[in-house]
Chains A and B, each alone.
Chain A
């Protein structure tokens, strides 16, 4: 079993792991010859299934295993994120699967050059040389070329992991949901996150003051998220004390690709989204045509953490059932054809 690769897009990879680690402590990582899959299935809350294109984060990717060149690992996300963070200033970084003291490890090797380190003695000398003669360059040439070569530091971070047998992951399947009622491209996640966080806080506070009278309830704050097929998205909290909502208009409802749907163009006409398109309006005034879900405010905030990876986010609403987010990562070198995608499955609470 061998896995080795150079990391070429450290910032992206670091942000990616940071987003995942807000959902759960461990990820199931599946490596094969085509792509890398990170899956987080927490005991409670939102699942994320993500596919990274190999060349979006790695280069010189090498994988070998007895099981059709597929390797399944369980990786602590905090540890991986921490290790990657130490590579942000790296000139080169590589990752490989190894064993230390009988324990499987992901070993991250980072080459970095230290800016501050010029051996003191030589720095003084070069400074003196600059002061003594007007021709400072001569002194600089001698000392600095010499130091530049020597200043490189190598850091290795060993992340304890678990190798999973293919049997143990066979039972894991991506959730299946029914066809969505509304597809909509979300506005800037920074905006959305800031507002939903504020709403969640308000809901928590009003609940805290309410529960002091009526006794504590165990349910978290519920956000109501809804969208229609005319570019409107609404986020709302509705408690005994207040009813607040924010509505976005003028968003895009992406069209479905007929080739991706069973039955093609004809089936597309009868697709739930097309039926929903006949209701509602672009200002969101009408009560008709909304698909809505109730989600946990805290959990939603963890999901919104994915905003750091950037890129387009499409939300698919299955009315009263689930919300699925497709996050198309900005990997910097995509040409639009093959992209890395994170898929979030958020189930709706009944209200």
Chain B
């Protein structure tokens, strides 16, 4: 019988929410792995080229209880579930000043009912004023993939404040795909480029001298910008990298990593050996340890011969280990349910289905307080041609729509009432004489539909 229960402070919930947002950039589903001393959220992307894991050590939780089936020491509990569903559980609503329901803590427990086919995670957000919001999410037990990576064997390492990287990330064009990272003459270079370009006539083409003639002129000009950001070695916290070693990762993944690392204000570490072997980005904040293992491409472009690997035998072993990405993962048979704590209480108030976060407030139009004619602020965007396509702007005044609909509803109600009356009378017709039915028709309301009238005769 497996017991997995933990309690989170609002800050910890928010941290998990942030981490889940980051994992969502890799995959829609998130895998959970519980151990004695940690709980890990992880995501593997569809092409299995990137594995992201966020491990939370027990100090992260206000309370953490895990008891494996049969009480084995190194046993684990694994499952996977929808990232979106989890996000709504941990979404903090405490920033909303209007809300009086401040979440005080979040209690999560896992249960599997043998009788039912559903595995459930039950999260209770205990708020002020005695409000309890209960989320019941289904999960499925699953084998989870793990990326093995031995940092000690990585020859190239660097570390930099994530905030600094994020500043520079803004320079990369949105459309670029690849990021080449290399070290040269005391400077670290991040080069974003596009390896393929879509041609209307010839489909997807790799960008190189020979194929470029197949592109039309307009297609050449539409290629995304190639951006290079060169950082001084001194900007790094730690830098020990082989010169001229080009390592290429996906910009999308890199962006996801940097944005999350920046959001928790930490130092980002990178570990890698050589192109073609995995690269790992890692950072931690308190009891949260994040690891992103990415496949790489690239080449060594130095003039000198690549230094012979030290200890080839051991290296070989470790490489094969690292190269095979999805190694030991065992499916755990889901154990019987742990009795969720305080289950009775959930019936009192907070028995609500997890609802999608209310986004209407966020998406409210930002030009609500727009002056009548001339925009006040000196914003450069004011000069852009407006998009006339949105149907928001309409003639008339705001109230009109509402009164109109109210009016039409009244009409419809009257019609319905009249129709009901008509059918009622129609039913009565056989019982009463024809004279009386004629009398009834006289008393019909003037909103009677013409189509209803013939039925009366």
Would you call A74 and B386 a contact (CB within 8 A)?
A: no
Most buried by A among B163, B167, B224, B388: B388
Q: Which residues of chain B are near A101, meaning CB under 8 Å?
A: 207-209
CB distance from B117 to the nearest CB of A (A): 51
Binding-face segment, A58-66, A198-206, A273-281, A330-338: A198-206
Would you call B221 and A162 a contact (CB within 8 A)?
A: yes
Would you call A209 and B395 a contact (CB within 8 A)?
A: yes
Would you call B212 and A102 a contact (CB within 8 A)?
A: yes
- B49 on the A face (CB < 8 A): no
When chains A and B are docked, how far (Å) is the Cα of A74 from the Cα of B216?
13
**Which residues 108-136 of A sit at the B interface, judged by CB distance below 8 A?**
114, 116-117, 119-121
- A321 on the B face (CB < 8 A): no
Q: Which residues of chain A are near B163, meaning CB under 8 Å?
A: 116-117
Would you call A150 and B388 a contact (CB within 8 A)?
A: no
- B100 on the A face (CB < 8 A): no
When chains A and B are docked, how far (Å) is the Cα of A306 from the Cα of B383?
7
Binding-face segment, B122-130, B231-239, B302-310: B231-239
Q: A150-B235, A194-B373, A205-B395 are in contact. Are A161 and B221 (CB under 8 A)?
A: yes
When chains A and B are docked, how far (Å) is the Cα of A321 from the Cα of B225?
40
Would you call A119 and B217 a contact (CB within 8 A)?
A: no
- A160 on the B face (CB < 8 A): yes
Q: Which residues of chain A are near B173, meaning CB under 8 Å?
A: 82
Q: A119-B237, A154-B230, A155-B228 are in contact. Are A193 and B383 (CB under 8 A)?
A: yes
Binding-face segment, B281-289, B374-382, B425-433, B435-443: B374-382
- B367 on the A face (CB < 8 A): no
Would you call B383 and A156 a contact (CB within 8 A)?
A: no
Q: Which residues of chain B are near A156, meaning CB under 8 Å?
A: 227-228, 230
Would you call B232 and A83 a contact (CB within 8 A)?
A: no
B380 to chain A: closest residue by CB = A308
When chains A and B are docked, how far (Å) is the Cα of A298 from the Cα of B236?
49
CB distance from A271 to the nearest CB of B (A): 34
Would you call A201 and B383 a contact (CB within 8 A)?
A: no
Q: Which residues of chain A are near B226, meaning CB under 8 Å?
A: 100, 105, 157-158, 160
Would you call A201 and B164 a contact (CB within 8 A)?
A: no
Point out the residue from B164, B375, B384 that lies within 8 Å of A114, measured CB to CB.
Answer: B164
A197 to chain B: closest residue by CB = B386
CB distance from A304 to the nearest CB of B (A): 7
A109 to chain B: closest residue by CB = B228
Q: A79-B225, A83-B225, A154-B230 are in contact. Are A22 and B385 (CB under 8 A)?
A: yes
When chains A and B are docked, how far (Å) is the Cα of A77 from the Cα of B234?
35
Interface string of B113-148 (1 = CB under 8 A from A): 000000000000000000000000000000000000
When chains A and B are docked, how far (Å) is the Cα of A202 from the Cα of B373?
13
CB distance from A292 to the nearest CB of B (A): 22
Q: A194-B373, A195-B373 are in contact. Are A160 and B221 (CB under 8 A)?
A: yes
When chains A and B are docked, how far (Å) is the Cα of A84 from the Cα of B225?
11
- B297 on the A face (CB < 8 A): no
- B99 on the A face (CB < 8 A): no
**Which residues 336-388 of B sit at the A interface, judged by CB distance below 8 A?**
373-375, 380, 382-386, 388
Would you call B385 and A153 a contact (CB within 8 A)?
A: no
B173 to chain A: closest residue by CB = A82
Q: Which residues of chain B are near A206, meaning CB under 8 Å?
A: 395
Interface string of B156-172 (1 = CB under 8 A from A): 00000101100110110
Would you call A305 and B231 a contact (CB within 8 A)?
A: no
CB distance from A142 to the nearest CB of B (A): 14
Q: Which residues of chain A are near B171, meaning CB under 8 Å?
A: 86, 155, 157
Q: A153-B232, A160-B221 are in contact. Are A19 and B383 (CB under 8 A)?
A: yes
Interface string of A154-177 (1 = CB under 8 A from B): 111111111000000000000000
When chains A and B are docked, how far (Å) is the Cα of A19 from the Cα of B380?
10
Q: What residues of chain A have their CB less than 8 Å away from a CB belonging to chain B?
A: 15, 18-19, 22, 25-26, 74-76, 79, 82-83, 86, 100-103, 105, 114, 116-117, 119-121, 147, 149-162, 190-191, 193-195, 197-198, 200-202, 204-206, 209, 298, 301-302, 304-308
A/B interface sample: 5 pairs, CB < 8 A: A26-B218, A149-B234, A155-B171, A155-B229, A197-B386
Q: Which 5 residue pairs across A and B have the least CB separation, nearest first?
A: A150-B234, A158-B226, A102-B209, A154-B230, A308-B383
Given contacts A114-B164, A114-B168, A119-B234, 19 further A-B contacts (CB under 8 A): A25-B221, A74-B221, A101-B209, A116-B167, A117-B164, A117-B167, A119-B235, A120-B161, A151-B235, A153-B168, A157-B171, A159-B225, A160-B226, A193-B382, A201-B386, A205-B395, A298-B388, A302-B385, A304-B383
